[in-house]
Structure 1
Amino acid sequence: MSSSILLDELFVEILSWIPVKDLMRLRCVSKSWNSLVFDPTFIKLHLQRSSKNTDTLLTFRDYENDESRYCASPCSIHGFLDNPSSTIDACHRFNHDYTVLGVCNGLVCLQDSYRGDEIEEYWVRFWNPATRVMSEDSPRIRLRSSDYNYPYLFMFGFGYNDWSDTYQVVLLDNKSHKMDVSVLCLGETCWRKMLTCPSFPTLSLHGAAVSGTVNWLALPELCSGYRWETVSVDELVIFSYDLKNVRYSYLSMPDGLLEVPPDVPVLEVLKGCLCLSHHHGKRFVVWLMREFGVEKSWTHLLNISYENLHIHGFIHAFPTLPVILCVSEDDDLMLLANYDSAEFIRYNKRDDRIDRHELFNDDKFYFFSYDYVQSLVLPCRN
């Protein structure tokens, strides 16, 4: 092997460890450097290196000047834990009323919609915050409102199939007697129906993507209208769609969940694991499925009274469910957002104490966080 080839390989190896922000500057050095940065093989290699340094992407709605807009802010977990307000101040405020469907490998899926009297249309864009590149609008999917009876609605999710290297937007299209699962892959020009299963209420707003699956809270035992207060624990499951094998399955709730919470639990992804948050008495409970698909791996991440969180004086029997935004690598520090008092709470689990309370403006709502890694992944296919 010639010395020039060895030098090129060494050069690629070194660059694969450089942060995205610096690579975006370096690509201006020459045409060959620019080509390398956007080469699919190099993008995958760089992602493998970057995925060991997971950050978080904070999203929220900002009601500024009587206008609601989604905001997003990538940040390090350490920096977010230390100073959440600075993360908000550095946010990107979208000029359009997008909704964030999910984040995979540094790629953010943004949804937009049109709602008429009879027809609703939905489409997405893909955005890479690190490279600041955004795709054009995807093909639209059109749904007729009269085809649906509450609670038979349609839910979206966003996931990644590493076997086929495809980023997929998943639609659960719930009609009166059946549910169609349709998929739009990044770079494709049409939605494809993948499978059909019995219709049932889905409870999660957006699907949670873990290990090549997208997951929603669901009530598959119910095939007609329902009231949450009449639901039993054995009716509550997680509907899991497998992107690679194009099939679905059901995951059980944690064994320790002995009664249905007063409000619908929140299903999300935290530290690469399915995360379930809910009220239990006057306590806030968070579970992690440490090993995806292994139901006995559900463990308590947090089980704390609202009094210990210094959440007092709420009007109803229960406060608005707090949101857990990020957790340190050793699980000792956690950052929560509490809407009732419009504040961030940093909880030290090891010492069982509140480290810090930090107020945020009460015109900011719906805080949500996603596992995030800076990547070069392109929001559109070459």
Structure 2
Amino acid sequence: MNSYSLTNDLILEILSRLPAESVARFHCVSKRWASTLDSPNFKELFLTKSSAKSLLLFAIEEEGIWSFFSSPQLENPYEKSSSTLVAAAAFHVKFSPDNLRINHYYDLRYFSIGYASGLIYIYGNRHQARPVICNPNTGRYAILPYRYTYRKAYSFFGFEPIDKQYKVLSMAYPCGPGHDKVLTFGAGDMTWRRIKCSLRHDAYSEGVCINGVLYYLGDTSDCYTDGHDVTSRYVIVCFDLRSEKFTFIGVERSCGLINYKGKLAVIFWEDDDDFYSEDGDAELRVWVLEDVEKHEWSKYAYTWTNGKFFRRQVSMVGVTTSGDIVFSMRKYTSEEPFYVFYLNPERKTLQRVEIQGFGEVFKETCSVCTFVNHVQNRNVNHLKLLKSDHPPLVEPEYYESLQSESDSE
């Protein structure tokens, strides 16, 4: 090995240990630096170093401006002796491109947020903002073309691992005008393309992407079934990002969807109908779909003695690679601690973790969206899809006229 290769290998080793923000800056130093960071050797080393750095990602909204934090994601937290652990949150960036404010709503009709392979997708009130995709580590972003929707705006974000493409699925209001559409992020002609979903439904949950398939809960009670033999009110809508085809799985009741160790799982409170009862106990059910064709499920249950707190103040946000279901508080206020909870349904164990560090940035009550399995050091090719600038905003009325012309074709 000559001195040049030794020096080059040492440089790659050092760069692979840097956070994504630094890698992004070095990528712009020169063509030689860009070539080095784009090389297969560096990409492989970069991803290998980052594979053990799974984080919890916090997207916090205050008056339409978003801030991103991360904290270590605990693996096997039950081995600790303390009933409450403490983890520090690291601040990454405050996000407000061109002062474009996007307010958070819990109603799916007015707000969408998604995480896929290191990128965040945010779409606010359809009269307020355009869809945005950003890197939460660096703040680099792209504002997507305007998407006119009638009354309701449901959209979902996912990553297709074979062709390595990010896609946004936008579903039209089922009882009004308009069309379902999909957009491929990073394609040469980044436009909304019309697709066809054969089963009319209202979106009833946030989406989860597993191995290139987007899943979300649909409600068919107020819609025509268009010839489908629908035996239940609720269906799991499955959208294959590569083929852009829909399939459906009937379910008995309303539920949330999660990625449980690479498999689709549904999660629900057994006594949802008694949500506001005085009884503090609550039983959480987790059903893991083991066989899609045979509809075989593994079933787990866990009972909380403080069920009111969980159902009113806490959201289920995902599952770690070790199988712990993570719950996070929905709001941050400086007057109270902020907690995340790790539940292992197989062990029937629960660990509480206090997240510290938000108080240095926020003094008022803020909305918090939490994501699991975030990787800070990511493939630098993903960074190249994002620009610091974006096309000028055009008045929505102009796009509405274009949409009307398109729908009349």
TM-score when normalising by structure 1: 0.69
Aligned to 2:312: 320
The 1:164–1:342 alpha-carbon spacing in structure 2 relative to 1, beyond 3 Å, is same
- 1:201 offset after TM fit, Å? 1.9
Q: Deviations over 1:280-308 (max 9, x none)?
A: 033122344467x56656434x522221x
Map of 1:350-369 to 2, 5 A cutoff? 352=348, 354-356=350-352, 358=354, 363-365=365-367, 367-369=369-371
The 1:143–1:288 alpha-carbon spacing in structure 2 relative to 1, beyond 3 Å, is same
SS of residue matched to 1:237: strand
Aligned to 1:77: 73
Equivalent position amino acid for 1:34 in 2: W
The 1:233–1:14 alpha-carbon spacing in structure 2 relative to 1, beyond 3 Å, is farther
Give unmatched runs, 5+ long, in structure 2. Answer: 78-83, 105-111, 272-281, 388-409
Equivalent position amino acid for 2:171 in 1: L
Please identify, of 208-217 and 244-253, the stretch whose mean Cα deviation from structure 2 is larger. 244-253
Aligned to 2:148: 142
Q: Deviations over 1:206-261 (max 9, x none)?
A: 32211111111013475259xxxxxx9833221011111121111344xxxxx53x
Does residue 199 of structure 2 align to residue 198 of structure 1? yes
Question: Contact conserved, 2:259 with 2:319, CA < 8 A, in 1?
Answer: no
Aligned to 1:166: 165
Q: Deviations over 1:251-282 (max 9, x none)?
A: 344xxxxx53xxx4222445544343211033
1:336 to 327, 335, 354: 327
Map of 1:1-382 to 2, 5 A cutoff? 14=13, 17-21=16-20, 24=23, 27=26, 31=30, 34-36=33-35, 38-39=37-38, 41=40, 45=44, 48-49=47-48, 52-53=51-52, 55-62=54-61, 67=63, 69-78=65-74, 86-87=88-89, 90=91, 92-95=93-96, 96-97=101-102, 101-115=113-127, 123-130=130-137, 132-145=138-151, 153-176=152-175, 180-187=179-186, 188-204=189-205, 206-220=206-220, 223=223, 234-253=232-251, 260=253, 264-269=254-259, 271-281=261-271, 282-289=282-289, 293=292, 296=295, 298-300=297-299, 303-307=301-305, 310-311=306-307, 319-320=311-312, 322-325=314-317, 329-331=321-323, 335-337=326-328, 344=339, 346=341, 349=344, 352=348, 354-356=350-352, 358=354, 363-365=365-367, 367-374=369-376, 375=378, 376=380, 377-378=382-383, 380=385
- 1:163 offset after TM fit, Å? 3.0
How many matched pairs?
Answer: 340
| Root-mean-square deviation (Å) | 4.5
Distance, in Å, in 2 between the alignment partners of 1:283 and 1:169 is 34
Question: Contact conserved, 1:215 with 1:239, CA < 8 A, in 2?
Answer: yes
Distance, in Å, in 2 between the alignment partners of 1:104 and 1:163 is 14
Percentage of identical aligned residues: 15
The 1:125–1:154 alpha-carbon spacing in structure 2 relative to 1, beyond 3 Å, is closer
Equivalent position amino acid for 2:140 in 1: M
Distance, in Å, in 1 between the alignment partners of 2:221 and 2:239 is 17
TM-score when normalising by structure 2: 0.65
Distance, in Å, in 2 between the alignment partners of 1:51 and 1:288 is 28
Equivalent position amino acid for 2:193 in 1: R
